[in-house]
């Protein structure tokens, strides 16, 4: 093996090591435990989002990583080094606060260059770096503007550039888009993601907005009451939620109760007995057994709605159409099946006129249903 080959292998091993490790982190405010044992590894260049309802501990966790709040128990390892006891300025992390915390009496360029000045960068190098950062966030033309003469989106970009100025190993973003209006949020989240991927900067993002979290992240960490409920890619979290809370948190869900009547071990064809009839699915998970009481996780867009009712087809339940709200690209429907109400989203609705007048409808449950074991 050549020397080059060995070095290459070592580089690869280095690259595989997580950039950030959180080990069993606890945080008490007085007797109130707001973080109850958070453990996670964040890979190099990864964008991981902590998402959860307000008050679940997201900001506290981010402040702990950044060094703005002290930790009650556990360890924070950044690039192999334990950083629990380092002050914020000696950590290779930078935080973008929710309110941006820009300096109102300074210009855009002064804000972006602030960290460099504090770190005693020479003037010419600072100017060059600030120019580069402003170019990156497309604000070169605004360099001499005062902060209060900028729009919300522009302020967001300044905060982002300032956080990146010293090339931190980990960027921490606390609800960075929450002060922007809905349209701008969409634009800025794309911009942040593009820049993050271009710079390959390891990023911990925090938001209470589950859709923003799904759109922007490599992985989501769903939190509730100071604990991690599930970690996974957006698709894993949406399609295979670990429990009812998560299933409902990342989108609307119809739950239907049933009991597993049979599982064919070879084909994974699985029959579920429900109050409304038998449902057959292809089982894609291995945590349920024959005889288990389960909750079927049925997403509104996964169900097929059709007119008429009466034919005996598989996975088709008869229902009464309670409401049909046509909105162009989508129709939102409410269907009652026996004693239950199901919400169904019909995309690209074709027969809207006929559905509007319909009473009886057929609801087809897909074969790719995720099951939660009933406790």
Ligand X SMILES: Nc1ncnc2c1ncn2[C@@H]1O[C@H](COP(=O)(O)OP(=O)(O)O)[C@@H](O)[C@H]1O
What does the binding site for ligand X look like in residue numbers (CB under 6 A)? 29, 34, 54-60
Q: Which does 55 bind (CB under 5 to 8 A by kind): ligand X, Mg ion, none?
A: ligand X
Contact 345, 266 (CB under 8 A): no
Closest distance to ligand X from the beta carbon of 243 (Å)? 19
User: Which is closer to ligand X, CB of 29 or CB of 252?
Assistant: 29
User: Which is closer to Mg ion, CB of 59 or CB of 315?
Assistant: 59
318, two tokens: 């008869």
Q: Does 196 bind Mg ion (CB under 5 A)?
A: no
Closest distance to ligand X from the beta carbon of 181 (Å)? 21
Q: Which does 29 bind (CB under 5 to 8 A by kind): ligand X, Mg ion, none?
A: ligand X
User: Which is closer to ligand X, CB of 60 or CB of 196?
Assistant: 60
Q: Which does 28 bind (CB under 5 to 8 A by kind): Mg ion, ligand X, none?
A: none
User: Which is closer to Mg ion, CB of 59 or CB of 202?
Assistant: 59
Among residues 354, 360, 353, 357, the alpha carbon closest in space to that of 337 is found at 360
| Identified binder of Mg ion from the candidate list 19, 52, 59, 147, rule CB under 5 A | 59
User: Which is closer to ligand X, CB of 159 or CB of 283?
Assistant: 159
Integer CA distances (angstroms), 11 to 2, 67, 200, in order: 14, 29, 16
Total site size for Mg ion, rule CB under 5 A = 1
Contact 361, 319 (CB under 8 A): yes
Give bridge partners of residue 172 from the DSSP assignment: 95, 204
Q: Which does 369 bind (CB under 5 to 8 A by kind): Mg ion, ligand X, none?
A: none
Q: In 89-213, where do the E strands start and end?
A: 93-96, 170-174, 202-207
Contact 230, 222 (CB under 8 A): yes
User: Which is closer to ligand X, CB of 58 or CB of 189?
Assistant: 58
46, two tokens: 């990864």
Closest distance to Mg ion from the beta carbon of 309 (Å)? 48
Q: Alpha-carbon torsion 146, 148, 153, 159, what sign?
A: positive
Integer CA distances (angstroms), 2 to 6, 7, 9, 10, 13, in order: 7, 9, 11, 13, 17
Closest distance to ligand X from the beta carbon of 179 (Å)? 15
The footprint of Mg ion (CB under 5 A) covers 59
């Amino acid at each position: 093996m050549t020397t080059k080959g060995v070095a290459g292998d070592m580089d690869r091993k280095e690259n595989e090591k997580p950039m950030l490790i959180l080990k069993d982190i606890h945080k008490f405010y007085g007797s109130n435990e707001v973080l109850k044992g958070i453990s996670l590894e964040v890979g190099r260049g990864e964008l991981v989002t902590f998402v959860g309802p307000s008050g679940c501990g997201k900001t506290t966790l981010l402040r702990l990583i950044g060094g703005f709040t002290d930790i009650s128990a556990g360890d924070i390892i950044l690039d192999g080094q334990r950083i629990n006891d380092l002050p914020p300025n000696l950590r290779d992390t930078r935080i973008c606060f929710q309110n941006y915390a820009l300096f109102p009496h300074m210009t855009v360029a002064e804000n972006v260059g602030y960290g460099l000045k504090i770190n005693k960068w020479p003037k010419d190098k600072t100017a060059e770096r600030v120019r580069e950062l402003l170019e990156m966030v497309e604000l070169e033309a605004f360099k001499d503007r005062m902060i209060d003469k900028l729009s919300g989106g522009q302020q967001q970009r300044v905060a982002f550039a300032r956080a990146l100025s010293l090339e931190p190993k980990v960027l921490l973003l606390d609800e960075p888009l929450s002060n922007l209006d809905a349209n701008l949020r969409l634009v800025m989240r794309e911009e942040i993601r593009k820049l993050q991927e271009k710079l390959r900067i390891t990023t911990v993002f925090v938001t209470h907005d589950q859709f923003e979290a799904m759109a922007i992240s490599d992985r989501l960490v769903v939190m509730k009451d100071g604990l991690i409920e599930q970690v996974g890619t957006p698709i894993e979290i949406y399609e295979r939620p670990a429990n009812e809370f998560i299933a409902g948190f990342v989108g609307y869900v119809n739950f239907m109760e049933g009991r597993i009547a049979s599982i064919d071990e070879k084909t994974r064809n699985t029959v579920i007995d429900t109050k409304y009839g038998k449902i057959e699915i292809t089982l894609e998970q291995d945590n349920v057994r024959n005889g288990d009481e389960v909750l079927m996780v049925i997403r509104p867009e996964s169900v097929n709605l059709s007119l008429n009712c009466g034919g005996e087809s598989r996975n088709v339940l008869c229902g009464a159409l309670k409401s049909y709200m046509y909105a162009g690209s989508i129709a939102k429907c409410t269907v009652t099946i026996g004693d239950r109400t199901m919400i169904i989203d019909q995309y690209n609705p074709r027969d809207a006129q006929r559905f509007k007048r319909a009473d009886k409808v057929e609801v087809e449950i897909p074969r790719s249903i995720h099951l939660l074991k009933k406790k």
